[in-house]
Amino acid sequence: MSLVTYVDLLIVGGGPAGLSAATAFSRLKRTCLLYDSGVYRNEGVKHAHLISGYEHCSPSDFRSKMKEDLLKYYSDTFEYRPGRITNLRKLDDQSKEWDFEAIDDQERLISAKKVVLATGLKDRLPDIQGVKEQWGKKIIHCIFCHGTETANAPFAFLLTKANAPMNPKLVESMLKLWRSLNHTDKYILTHGMDFETEQGRKDAGLEEKYDLIKKLGYKIISTPIRSITETVSQNALEIKFEDGKQIQVPAMLLFPEGFSANEHATSLLTEDFLEDKLAMFGTIAPPSKEMSMTGLPPRMGDDPRTNVHGLFWAGNSGSAFANVTISLAQGQNAAVMAGDQIGEEEMKKL
Ligand SMILES: Cc1cc2nc3c(=O)[nH]c(=O)nc-3n(C[C@H](O)[C@H](O)[C@H](O)COP(=O)(O)OP(=O)(O)OC[C@H]3O[C@@H](n4cnc5c(N)ncnc54)[C@H](O)[C@@H]3O)c2cc1C
């Protein structure tokens, strides 16, 4: 094992949340080390939206720019390491200045006063041939991120049985938000949930709005999907069904069937270390209401603490619905709190 690196703040994760935390923390002229193992939630996405000033940018260019700025302006206190933290633990010894000890994939040891976990999330996709390959390309999940580009052309909404509790909400948003995109042919694909039966309509979330959906001309296809591939011209998706029929649409919506922690972070996000179970979306649980700053449960990141003193979360690791902009804000929030805690602890020793 080589020399120990001592830092004020260790940031695990080099997505928007981690890089933003590093930017804010660097403003304090305190030392900060960021690890980035290179697995991002929006991997494969060519153009991101909803990032003011960077509309239609490539997510990887966006991260590169943040990293470039960090190295340009803050390299006296900031260090970026490509690589993975494989082990993280809180030290019991209260007399020590460094509360956390981490080991990376090269067996290097890091001692940190505070830690921000900005480790992201992983989306669980339905097991349909071709979905994984098209995820974030022609198969999209959010109107604000990628919907606008699908306007005035055919479009399909995929509803799956695993999402039954969520489907009524998805159908509602299809009617409330997506309609203004004026899709020409509008398909609803229920992948085996038979819309001719009450149960099938319930599972697909169609029951309540069924008459309206029919009136608005949506074409519902219940036949299970066999495969989804890109056409030879690469302009559309070819969706093939079990009965041999097929349709072509330029793009399709699907909502993930679940979320779990980024695969590189599962060894760190243990109940033992976090002193809590992961929350329902595979995210780090917010601090208990008693210790919350406002006395209210955190909403989109107004409390970046965890149940472990000195350990913070930012971005999708603690907030499944955060987008890039919100992750940036959460990163800042976590860094500010970490700096504040260090300052307070130093003050007590003066
Ligand atoms: C298909 C798709 C399209 C999207 N499009 C948009 C869009 O257009 N606009 C928008 O605003 N949002 C979009 N989003 C949401 C956006 O991708 C996320 O909100 C954002 O990436 C979250 O940033 P993050 O920093 O929390 O996580 P991530 O960007 O996922 O970064 C996680 C980081 O943690 C690292 N990591 C994990 N474990 C370890 C470890 N043990 N050691 C070291 N590093 C580790 C990873 O390698 C990575 O660097 C999209 C999401 C998806 C799924």
Query: 119 CB less than 6 Å from ligand 1?
Result: yes
The pLDDT of residue 267? 94
- Euclidean distance between CA atoms 70 and 102, whole angstroms: 22
Query: 331 CB less than 6 Å from ligand 1?
Result: no
Sign of CA dihedral 270, 310, 9, 103: negative
Render each residue's pLDDT in the chain as its tens digit; 350 residues.
558 999 999 999 999 999 999 999 999 999 999 999 999 999 989 999 999 999 999 999 999 999 999 999 999 999 999 999 999 999 987 767 889 999 999 999 999 999 999 999 999 999 999 999 999 999 999 999 999 999 999 999 999 999 999 999 999 999 999 999 999 999 999 999 999 999 999 999 999 999 999 999 999 999 999 999 999 999 999 999 999 999 999 999 999 999 999 999 999 999 999 999 998 889 998 887 777 777 777 777 789 999 999 999 999 999 998 999 999 999 999 999 999 999 999 999 99
- Please identify, by atom number, the ligand 1 atom nearest to the C-alpha of residue 323: 19
- Euclidean distance between CA atoms 185 and 120, whole angstroms: 35
- Euclidean distance between CA atoms 5 and 13, whole angstroms: 17
Question: How remote is the CA of residue 25 from the centroid of ligand 1, in Å?
Answer: 20
Query: 315 CB less than 6 Å from ligand 1?
Result: yes
Are residues 147 and 50 in contact, defined by beta-carbon separation less than 8 angstroms? no
Nearest protein Cα to ligand 1, atom 17: 42
Write the DSSP symbol of residue 46.
Answer: S
| 148 CB neighbour count, 10 Å cutoff | 12
Question: How remote is the CA of residue 12 from the centroid of ligand 1, in Å?
Answer: 12
Name all domains of the chain by residue range, CATH numbers in brackets. Answer: 4-122+258-349 (3.50.50.60), 126-254 (3.50.50.60)
Question: How remote is the CA of residue 15 from the centroid of ligand 1, in Å?
Answer: 5
| 65 CB neighbour count, 10 Å cutoff | 13
Are residues 303 and 293 in contact, defined by beta-carbon separation less than 8 angstroms? yes
pTM for the full model?
0.95
Are residues 128 and 256 in contact, defined by beta-carbon separation less than 8 angstroms? no
Mutation test residue for ligand 1: of 35, 40, 115, the one with most atoms within 8 Å of CB: 40
The pLDDT of residue 118? 98
CA–CA–CA angle 41, 136, 209 (5° rounding): 110
